[in-house]
């Protein structure tokens, strides 16, 4: 237990995996992330199709429910874009960390 924590935490245990195992685990996580990004992209395309279809069949309608549905679809699309940006940032950070595993300390940090 860390002297600075009130209980047992994630950082209270030392990892015993090798660098190779760590790199493999990061690679597997990156594959899962790419699959997730593909799913986000597909979901965004489907939402866009739904927006277009709903717009086509409700063209000219001023009904509050139609307006609310279009707004909800637009919001969903924006949130998917934010999710894609967040996963891209996560990928960049994971790749940056993985790159440090490949460098001898003297060549990466001088």
pLDDT tier for residue 52 given thresholds of 50, 70 and 90: very high
Residues 6+ apart with CB under 8 A from 60: none
Average pLDDT, the chain: 85
Q: Is position 91 within any domain?
A: yes
Both tokens of 39, joined, read 């799913």
Percent of the chain at pLDDT above 90?
65
Strand (E) positions, the chain?
A: none
Asked if 91 and 30 count as a contact pair (C-beta separation under 8 A), the reply is yes
| Domain range enclosing 77 | 17-95
Cα four-point dihedral sign 81, 83, 86, 91: negative
Task: For residues 41-45, give the mean pLDDT.
Answer: 98
76: in domain? yes
pLDDT higher than threshold 50 for residue 4:
no
Question: Is 35 among the domain residues?
Answer: yes
Q: What is the rounded distance in angstroms from the CA atom of residue 57 to the CA atom of residue 49?
A: 12
Please tell me the pTM assigned to this model: 0.74
User: Based on the structure, what is the number of domains in the chain?
Assistant: 1
């Amino acid at each position: 237990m860390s002297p600075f924590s009130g209980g047992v935490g994630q950082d209270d245990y030392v990892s015993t995996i090798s660098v190779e195992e760590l790199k493999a685990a990061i690679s597997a996580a990156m594959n899962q992330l790419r699959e997730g990004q593909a799913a986000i992209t597909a979901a965004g395309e489907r939402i866009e199709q739904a927006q277009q279809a709903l717009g086509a069949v409700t063209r000219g309608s001023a009904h509050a429910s139609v307006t609310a549905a279009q707004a909800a679809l637009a919001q969903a699309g924006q949130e998917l874009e934010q999710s894609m940006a967040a996963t891209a940032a996560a990928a960049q950070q994971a790749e940056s960390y993985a790159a440090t595993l490949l460098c001898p300390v003297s060549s990466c940090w001088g």
